[in-house]
Amino acid sequence: MKQIKLIIGFSLLSQILFAQKVAPKAVNEYAAIDNKVLQIPDSLTKTTEGIATYITSNFGKDAERARAIFIWVATHIEYDIENMFAINFYEQKAEKIARSLRTRKGICENYAALFNDICAKAGIKSFVIEGYTKQNGFADYIPHAWCAALVDNSWLMFDPTWGSGYVNNGKFFKKINNSYFKALPSSLIKSHMPFDYLWQFLNYPVTNQEFYEGKTEQNKTKPVFDFVASIQTYEKQNHIEQLIASSFRVQQNGIKNSLIFDRLQHLKLEIENYKQTQSTGLYNAAVQHYNEGINHFNVFIQYRNTRFSSKKTDAEIESMIDTTWLTLSKAKTNLSKIKEPDANTTLLIAQLNKSIDDVIIHVKEQQEWLKLYFSKGKLARKSMFYKYTWFGIPVN
């Protein structure tokens, strides 16, 4: 019996000792950086310039600056529960930033815009990424925004919104989550899907269908996508080229939900509006050049009708008609740059082209007349004059 009691007593002691084990407290490896950035004077936090100046003055390495920016945004901006569904990706960036600094509240697009703008002013290349997310195995029905930044020559992911805390029962609770600080692209893709796969920063982009199915591991049987070279190309493109390329990538990756569909439709609308605005600008510029050409031509005809009475050199006279030619040529060039015009614009282009061509015929006649005029002596030149109308048609 004593032996049994001893064994039982030992078992109870083991259970007690096991129950009393305490998990080691997590150590914040960024504590020094966090503490220093949180000492920033309030007067400097009114603008991103002020915040960036403090950060660049106190931290020399990009990794330190990125942490300082992340922790400042995640700590100082409270998630705006009341407006969590009022996401407007197309609002002016300056207004997103100004409002969140003024109210100290914001939603994902405000967090991301702040992080991105401070990064830019602190000398860190970064981008705002727009897309949708998946939580607990289900894709969200509202879009989301986060960031990527180039730190120590590597693209890393930052979500200052998810990193700032969490929502529970309609309330926001602040709690820094370092899982969304310097996350690897291959890791964040499990929960964050960009609309445009360029911003996955992966050599084997995950499709929307694969994202839904949880198949986010890199599939190296796919063709390699050089995202580094593609980003370099993106940075060299003008706005319309960026929109067209993005529209192609969004469509290519699969239209899996209404969020992706809405993004694609907006891209197409923006492209169409841009083209229309560009077409209108080119057409109006062509009309202006046409009118200038007519004015130059009429000045020349008027001067010729006075039989070149005021003294000008041959070069100056020739320049008068050449200026007309060049101005009308500019009008033709502008019209040729209009791509895929609508039916009404096509008709206007045809009409203006005809008007320009009609004037050019008369300009060429005057150029030929001048060649002959310049080839003659003083007396012979005088005999060549006769009256002309404003458009160079001789009066019988």
Mean pLDDT of 43-60: 96
Highest average pLDDT, of 83-87, 169-173, 216-220, 340-344, comes from 216-220
Q: Extract the tokens encoding 309.
A: 């009475």
User: What pLDDT, on the 0 to 100 scale, is given for residue 340?
Assistant: 85
Exposed, middle or buried, 345 (CB in 10 Å: 0-12/13-18/19+)?
Answer: middle
Residue 171 backbone dihedrals phi, psi, to 5 degrees: -125, 150
| Mean pLDDT rounded to a whole number for the chain | 89
User: What pLDDT, on the 0 to 100 scale, is given for residue 332?
Assistant: 96
Mean pLDDT of 189-206: 98
Mean pLDDT of 227-236: 97
Cβ neighbours of residue 352 under 8 Å, at least 6 residues apart?
283, 286, 287, 290, 331, 335
- Percent of the residues in the chain that have a pLDDT greater than 90, as a whole number: 76
120-160 pLDDT, tens digit per residue, is: 999 999 999 999 999 988 998 899 999 999 999 999 999 99
User: What pLDDT, on the 0 to 100 scale, is given for residue 168?
Assistant: 87
Exposed, middle or buried, 39 (CB in 10 Å: 0-12/13-18/19+)?
Answer: exposed
pLDDT-based confidence at 9, cuts 50/70/90?
Answer: very low
Question: How far apart are alpha carbons 52 and 345 in whole angstroms?
Answer: 48
User: What pLDDT, on the 0 to 100 scale, is given for residue 21?
Assistant: 45
Mean pLDDT of 172-188: 96
Here the contacts of 352-360 (C-beta below 8 Å, separation 24 or greater) are: 352/283, 352/286, 352/287, 352/290, 355/290, 356/290, 356/293, 356/328, 356/331, 356/332, 359/290, 359/293, 359/294, 359/297, 359/328, 359/391, 360/325, 360/328
Q: Which residues pair with 74 in a beta bridge?
A: none
Assess whether pLDDT exceeds 50 at residue 7.
no
User: What pLDDT, on the 0 to 100 scale, is given for residue 339?
Assistant: 87
Assess whether pLDDT exceeds 80 at residue 101.
yes
Question: How far apart are alpha carbons 216 and 200 in whole angstroms?
Answer: 11
Q: Extract the tokens encoding 131.
A: 């897309």
User: What pLDDT, on the 0 to 100 scale, is given for residue 391?
Assistant: 53
53-75 pLDDT, tens digit per residue, is: 999 999 999 999 999 999 999 99
Mean pLDDT of 303-328: 91
In angstroms and rounded to an integer, the radius of gyration of the C-alpha atoms of the chain is 35
User: What pLDDT, on the 0 to 100 scale, is given for residue 170?
Assistant: 85
In this structure, are strands 126-135 and 144-151 parallel, antiparallel, or unpaired?
antiparallel
User: What pLDDT, on the 0 to 100 scale, is given for residue 380?
Assistant: 86
- List, as one string, the DSSP characters of 75-121: HH-EE-GGGTT---TTS-HHHHHHHHHHHSEE-HHHHHHHHHHHHHH
User: What pLDDT, on the 0 to 100 scale, is given for residue 25?
Assistant: 58
Assess whether pLDDT exceeds 60 at residue 356.
yes
Mean pLDDT of 277-306: 94
Among 16-30, 189-203, 217-231, 237-251, the minimum mean pLDDT is found in 16-30
368 or 5: which leads in pLDDT: 368
Q: Which residues pair with 192 in a beta bridge?
A: 133
